Homo-oligomer: A and B are copies of this chain.
Amino acid sequence: MELSERKKKVLRSVVDLYIRTAEPVGSKAVTELPDMKYSSATIRNEMAELTTMGYLEQPHTSAGRIPSAAGYRLYVDELMMDYRLSIDETKSINNAIEEKMQRVDKMVEKVARLVSQATDLPAISAASRCGSLTVKRYDLILAAKSSVIAVLMLSNEQVVNKLIKLPLAANESDLKLLSAVLNASMTDIPPEHITPEQMEKVMRSAGNAASLVPVILDFVQETLRQSESTNVAVFGQARLLGLPEYRDVDKAQRVMASIDEEALSNLPAVMENTNGTKVIVGPENVSEELKDTSVVMTKFDIGDGMQGMIGVVGPTRMDYAKVTARLSYFAESLSKLFAKPEQPQLPESAEPEEHKE
């Protein structure tokens, strides 16, 4: 059933107010809003109907209304006003991102930290590889009498290396032979297909350098496996405590603990089939502890076939408009940055104006 324009306006007002004050919203408060031209009685009637329709709730008979999960959902999907980032905001975001950074996952972490600051809520970051990797090319460098550097180029253009110390001396030509063998027979093979039999075959043809083979292939397996893992971190948890809904220490503790766990396991799965920004309102969360906690997550591509995810956790009453706006902007900036890694290109298309309030 479709809501009347007036009902939508009332619902939006209630949600907005509740987001600001964290207290049940009464009919009078709504009346006092700038462009509400109805009396409190009318609003009361509308609110009563919105309550029976399930968009609002009443903590007890003589209190104002608060939005229900359905109310928030509707608000997020249809009602909320776009929040435009202020110039200051975009500037500080850009400055922060502009710094040269080397390791991709550290970069994502850093941005998550910024997001946490910007939203004054805890933030979660995750960097993960998607799709399985293989080795595209092997190089062996003789670094000293008895140490060899193995350099692997992976299918995503990433390069990794390992220093291997040998029990005995090695020479250039042995290494040349071995790397030729490896490049011929061990490229483009996913880690789970590296069998002991294959390993033996390689060893037989590797001549003097045969003792290197198991070390290298172990390293290969480890590298390919490990790079599939996700790297999750949480920042600014303490900010939760500043919010009235988490004045209850027990609740805060439960939520924070489950952010830690959730972050470390479930999170990647949740975003599996999504792209862009997703809002999970309270009870839509799987975990029991997070039933009145909302999550806004955004997924984006970063170079080398990796994906990044940054999210914010807060009370169901969080400022969805602001949070999603900021998060999207961060994600967009990061994507662009990684698209041209040597020459950071920052989004200018956004044309930020003074933000409405």
Interface residues of A (CB under 8 A from B): 100, 102, 137, 139, 141, 143, 149, 151, 153, 157-163, 222-223, 226, 233, 235-239, 241-242, 246-247, 249-250, 252-253, 256-257, 259-260
Contact = CB atoms under 8 A, between A and B. Distances in A.
Nearest to A226: B102
A5 to B, nearest CB: 41
A301 to B, nearest CB: 18
Contacts of A242: 253
A162 B342 CA distance: 13
Classify the interface of chain A: helix, strand, loop or mixed: mixed
Given A100-B222, A157-B163, A252-B249, A260 B236 contact: yes
A157 B100 CA distance: 25
Contacts of A149: 139, 151, 153, 159
Nearest to A140: B141
A143 B241 CA distance: 52
Contact of A256 (B226, B241, B257): B241
Nearest to A247: B249
Nearest to A142: B139
Nearest to A256: B238
Contacts of A256: 237-238, 241
A238 B257 contact: yes
12 contacts: A102-B222, A139-B141, A139-B143, A139-B149, A143-B153, A149-B151, A157-B163, A159-B161, A235-B260, A241-B250, A241-B256, A249-B249
**Copy total for this chain:** 2
Given A137-B143, A241-B256, A249-B252, 15 more contacts: A100-B222, A139-B141, A139-B143, A139-B149, A143-B159, A149-B151, A158-B163, A159-B161, A235-B260, A237-B237, A237-B238, A238-B260, A239-B257, A242-B253, A247-B249
Contacts of A163: 153, 157-159
Contacts of A151: 141, 149, 151, 161
Q: Considering the complex of A and B, which 5 residue pairs feature the smallest CB-CB distances, nearest first?
A: A238-B256, A241-B253, A238-B257, A159-B163, A139-B141
A257 B157 CA distance: 40
Contact of A249 (B160, B236, B246): B246
A107 to B, nearest CB: 12
B233 A241 contact: no
Contacts of A226: 102
Contacts of A222: 100, 102
A351 to B, nearest CB: 32
Contacts of A161: 151, 159-161
Nearest to A136: B143
A348 to B, nearest CB: 25
A105 B260 CA distance: 19
